[in-house]
Amino acid sequence: MTVPLRSLVRQGLYLVGQGLQGLRVAPGQTLWSVLLLAVTASLVSLAIAFGGLAARLSEQAARGSRVLVYLKDPVPTAEVQRLMSRLQGQADVESVTYLTREQDRAENARLLPPDLVASLPPEAIPGQHALEVSLRFRPEAPEGPDALLASLRALEEVDLVAEPVVGGQRLRAMAAAVDLGRTILLAMAVLLLVGSLSFVVATLTRTLDRRRDEVTLLRLLGATEGFLRTPLMVQGALQGMVGLGLGVLGGALVADGLSAWLEGRHDLHRVLVMRLDLALPLALAAGLVLGLAGALVASRRKEA
């Protein structure tokens, strides 16, 4: 009972066609299911993109909680020691390290654009001895270490106090907000997923109802179970893949817009990054699995 490859291919195409026709059985419901799936996917992809943002903000916050206290050039070691132990005692201070001129220069060389560093003679890169002060995050003192920084600036030995552009405090607050937003997005996505799944199952059930007489006849005419089930699976898979695929594309668009807006308001860059090269195949695969599961649920329900 060998079935030639060609006739198998022909049958496959025929069954895909039947699956496509199934999409037209309940066009309104089909559209809704695809739309809901798309919204779900865009929420999930946004939540994931925001996850990257929250992580980056926290990281920046951690970096932002370090200030460099540049010292005037002739400050004797004893003075430096005294200043360090005084800072050590402050509630806002986690730790203090002394950076020599060379260490500071090395750090600058690391931060400056590499092509610039390569073209400069080493002495042209600025280097100044400094105290690197790690600040402690204290939720009970929301005003932050501003008072401490002001008092440092007033000291005679201090040349200048360098802070990162965005304060760690503010970044932490943003990270918390982003995290909350993410949780809300994910919760909505879960609700929508349940809703859209039930829509997918409903459309497939309608198709099964519509095809019931045909399936009975086909079974008697000698159709295999695979032949009978494939159109339904094709239909489910198409709904899932189109829905989730469109959703991820939509999510990427929204992420781009939001990202541009946030970058304009805050001094941040690459706020929301969506890796479409990963997200799209993932969404299509998830859509496939989801659609097949829907087809399975629908046909199980019909058999019961």
Partner 1 sequence: MPLLSLQGVTKRYPGGVEALRDVSFEVNEGEFLFLAGPSGAGKTTLLRLLVRLEVATQGDILVFGRHLQRIRESSVPYLRRNIGFVFQDFRLLGDRTVAENVALGLHILGLTRREIRSRVEEALADLQLEGLAASLPAALSGGEQQRVAIARALVMHPPLLLADEPTGNLDWDLSNETVRLLARLNRRGTTVIMATHDRFLLREWPYRTLWLHRGALVEDRPASPAPGSTEAS
Among 14, 138, 150, 209, binds partner 1 (CB under 8 A): 14
Among 82, 85, 224, 261, binds partner 1 (CB under 8 A): 224
Among 115, 123, 140, 213, binds partner 1 (CB under 8 A): 213
220 sits near partner 1 (criterion: CB under 8 A): yes
Tokens standing for 247?
Answer: 């959703």
Torsion sign over Cα 234, 236, 241, 242: positive
Among 202, 227, 262, 292, binds partner 1 (CB under 8 A): 227
Q: How many residues bind partner 1 (CB under 8 A)?
A: 21
Residue position matching structure tokens 């405090």: 169
Min separation Cβ 228 and partner 1, Å: 9
Question: Could you tell me which of 183, 207, 242 has the C-alpha nearest to residue 43?
Answer: 183
217 sits near partner 1 (criterion: CB under 8 A): yes
303 sits near partner 1 (criterion: CB under 8 A): no
Alpha helices in the chain (DSSP H): 5-22, 27-64, 77-88, 101-111, 114-119, 146-154, 168-221, 225-265, 276-303
Min separation Cβ 9 and partner 1, Å: 9
Tokens standing for 111?
Answer: 């931060």
- CB-wise, 115 or 225, nearer to partner 1? 225
Q: How many residues does the chain have?
A: 304
Q: How far apart are CA 251 and CA 274, in angstroms?
A: 8
- CB-wise, 4 or 74, nearer to partner 1? 4
7 sits near partner 1 (criterion: CB under 8 A): yes
Q: Are 145 and 135 in contact (CB under 8 A)?
A: yes
Among 16, 186, 223, 254, binds partner 1 (CB under 8 A): 223
Question: Could you tell me which of 58, 81, 60 has the C-alpha nearest to residue 71?
Answer: 81
Min separation Cβ 222 and partner 1, Å: 3
Q: Sort 110 into a burial class: Cβ within 10 Å, 0-12 / 13-18 / 19+.
A: exposed
218 sits near partner 1 (criterion: CB under 8 A): yes
209 sits near partner 1 (criterion: CB under 8 A): no
Tokens standing for 70?
Answer: 């540049």
- CB-wise, 121 or 222, nearer to partner 1? 222
214 sits near partner 1 (criterion: CB under 8 A): yes
Binding footprint of partner 1 on the chain (CB under 8 A): 1, 3-4, 7-8, 10-11, 14, 213-214, 216-225, 227
